[in-house]
Amino acid sequence: MAAMSLLLLVPGCGSRAVLIADQFASYYFVEISQEKALPLTTGLARRKLEQELQLVATVRRGGYTPEQARPSISFRRTATRVEGGRARVEYDVDVRIGSSRVQKRALVVLQHEGDSWHVSNFLVTEGASPSE
C-alpha cells in the first residue's frame, strides 16, 4: 500500500509535460505575459514569443500594460498525447470582453530536453473544439 501511494505522488514524465503546457497556457492566455511564458519555451515557440514581444514593445513602453486590456480568459484542456520525448496538449480557450465571447482552440507541442520539458511550438485557431 505504501509503495502504491508513493507512485501516485511522484509525477511521471507525461504528467510533467502537461504541467508545463498548463503553465504556459496560463501565462500566455490568462496573464497575457509573453515574458513569463518565454522561459518555458525553446525553438520555434521561443522565436514566436520574441517576435510578439517586439511587436508590443512600443505600446508597452508607452505605459499600456496587458492588465489594462485584459479580457476574462479561461481555458480547458481537451486532449493530451505523450509519446517518448514529445507531447501534444490541446485546449479550448474562452475569451470574454464585456458581452462578447470568442472561442479559440490551442495546440501546445512540447519536447523533452535534458531533464525537463519545453514548449517547442504552439498554434492558436478560431473556434471551439468539435462537440463530442
User: What would the pLDDT profile of 60-95 be if each residue is shown by its tens digit?
Assistant: 676 666 565 668 999 999 999 999 999 999 999 999
HEC profile of the chain:
CHHHHHHHHCCCHHHHHHHHHHHHHHHHHHCCCHHHHHHHECHHHHHHHHHHHHHHHHHHHCCCCHHHHCCEEEEEEEEEEEECCEEEEEEEEEEEECCEEEEEEEEEEEEEECCEEEEEEEEEEECCCCCC
pLDDT beyond 50 at 5 = no
The mean-pLDDT minimum among 54-58, 91-95, 128-132 falls in 128-132
Rounded to the nearest integer, the mean pLDDT of the chain is: 84
Tell me what the mean pLDDT of segment 1-8 comes to.
32
- Tell if the pTM clears 0.75, that is, is over it: yes
Residue 62's pLDDT is what? Answer: 65
CB 111 within 8 A of CB 85: yes
CATH topology of domain 2-126: Nuclear Transport Factor 2; Chain: A, (3.10.450)
User: What would the pLDDT profile of 25-38 be if each residue is shown by its tens digit?
Assistant: 999 999 989 999 99
Q: How far apart are CA 31 and CA 26, in angstroms?
A: 6
Domain range list for the chain: 2-126
Residue 127's pLDDT is what? Answer: 85
